[in-house]
Structure 1
Amino acid sequence: MNETSKIAIFFDAENVPAAMVPEIISFLSTKGDILFQRAYADWSIANTKAWQTQITKTPITAIQQFHHNQEQAVDKAVMMDAIELAIKHEEIDIFTLVASDNGYYSLSLRLRELGKRVIGIGEKGKCSPIWINSCNEFQYFEDLEEVDDDILLQSEKPAETSEIKDFALEKFLERAFDSTPFYKDTNTKLLSQMWESILRQKPDFSVKDYGKKTAREFIMSFDDKFKVSDDGKNQKTFFVEKIESKNSQRITGIIKRKIGCYCIISSTDKDKKGDYFFYRNEINPKYKKQKLEKGMKVNFVVVREPNLNAGTFKDKNGRATDLMIEQQT
Structure 2
Amino acid sequence: MEERFALLIDADNVSAKYIKPILDELSKYGNVTYKRIYGDWTRPNSAGWKEELLQNSITPIQQFSYTYGKNATDSAMIIDAMDMLYASELEGFCLVSSDSDFTRLASRLRESGKRVIGMGEAKTPLPFRKACEIFTELELLLEDNMMGAAEREEKVGLHAVSGKETKKMISATREQVEEAVVKIITENKNNDRETGLGEVGSRLVKLYPDFDVRRYGYSLLSKFLETLPRLMLIQEGTKVSVALYEDKSRKEMVEEYILYQIKTSGENGIPLSALGNRIRLKFGDFKVRDYGFSQFKPYIQSFPEVELQGEGERTKAVYAPEL
- Normalized per residue, the structure richer in strand is 1
* TM-score normalised by the chain length of structure 2: 0.47
For the pair shown, the structure with the greater C-alpha radius of gyration is 2
* TM-score normalised by the chain length of structure 1: 0.46
